[in-house]
């Protein structure tokens, strides 16, 4: 049986670290730590965070200001403003540097009630995106507030259904990855064929 709860009941939500705390330095100073700042460009449509070296913006932040802002395994990163409020799952074992979220991203840390993949799947679904649109504010650049997110009501399925959703989440990522590889392979094949025919 489905259980309707507010997001505040099933997760802790906070903003990314303000840009005023970021420093770019040639060499680190004492008391500062180099971190990767995850931005919207790192949040993939498939629900995962991308960690390509050239996509990671590295900054230095005073260690005393990092308290509670270093991302943890299975944190959910949600676009706070823009045309697409997509969410992505953070996996710290896929990156070798501590990470923080940019100020344009909310960090959602699930409690034991809901599996993070379930929440990412919900937010990225057509229904979830429609709810995000409903609670967003602004006309030129739409944005979400922590207060409106906390009051957002969602259905929390029983654990067996949650496990099924998790398996669908990863199966979908695998299928999309294979499709991307096929598309790239097709592009290379067509390019090679055209070069031969036009030579």
Instruction: Report the alpha-carbon distance of residue 115 to residue 47 in Å, rounded.
Output: 14
pLDDT in tens, the chain (199 residues): 458 999 999 999 999 988 777 776 667 778 888 898 999 889 988 999 988 777 788 888 888 888 889 999 999 999 998 888 999 999 988 888 899 999 999 999 999 999 999 999 999 999 999 999 999 988 788 899 999 999 999 999 999 999 999 999 999 999 988 888 899 899 999 998 888 888 7
Ramachandran angles phi, psi of 88, nearest 5°: -145, 150
At 22 the pLDDT is 73
Residues whose CB falls within 8 Å of the CB of residue 183, separated by 6 or more in sequence, listed in order: none
At 26 the pLDDT is 67
The secondary element (H helix, E strand) that includes residue 174 is helix 159-198
Q: Which whole-number Å values give the CA distances from 54 to 57, 84, 160, 199, in the listed order? A: 8, 23, 39, 35
Domains and CATH numbers, the chain: 3-158 (3.90.220.20)
At 34 the pLDDT is 87
At 94 the pLDDT is 83
Please state the pTM of the whole predicted model: 0.86
At 197 the pLDDT is 87
At 25 the pLDDT is 67
The CB density around residue 199, as the number of other CB atoms within 10 Å, is 5
Residue 135 tokens, joined? 């609670």
At 1 the pLDDT is 44
Q: Spell 88-103 as b/e; 16+ CB within 10 A means b.
A: bbbebeebeeebbbbb
> What value does the CA radius of gyration of the chain take, rounded to a whole number of Å?
19
Instruction: Report the alpha-carbon distance of residue 4 to residue 81 in Å, rounded.
Output: 26
Q: Are 135 and 97 in contact (CB under 8 A)?
A: no
Surface-to-core class of residue 116, CB atoms within 10 Å of its CB (0-12 exposed, 13-18 middle, 19+ buried): buried
């Amino acid at each position: 049986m489905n259980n309707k709860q507010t997001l505040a009941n099933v997760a802790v939500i906070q903003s990314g670290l303000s840009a005023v705390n970021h420093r770019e330095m040639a060499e680190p100073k004492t008391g500062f730590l180099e971190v990767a700042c995850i931005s919207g460009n790192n949040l993939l449509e498939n629900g995962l965070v991308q960690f390509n070296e050239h996509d990671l913006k590295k900054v230095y932040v005073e260690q005393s200001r990092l308290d509670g802002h270093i991302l943890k395994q299975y944190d959910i990163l949600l676009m706070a403003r823009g045309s697409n409020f997509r969410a992505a799952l953070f996996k710290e074992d896929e990156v070798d540097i501590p990470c923080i979220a940019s100020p344009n991203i909310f960090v959602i840390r699930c409690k034991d009630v809901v599996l993070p993949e379930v929440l990412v799947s919900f937010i990225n679904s057509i229904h979830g995106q429609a709810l995000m649109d409903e609670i967003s504010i602004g006309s030129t650049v739409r944005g979400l507030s922590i207060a409106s997110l906390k009051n957002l009501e969602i259905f929390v399925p029983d654990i067996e259904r949650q496990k099924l959703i998790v398996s669908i989440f990863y199966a979908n990522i695998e299928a999309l990855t294979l499709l991307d590889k096929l598309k790239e392979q097709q592009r290379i094949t067509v390019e090679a064929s055209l070069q031969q025919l036009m030579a």
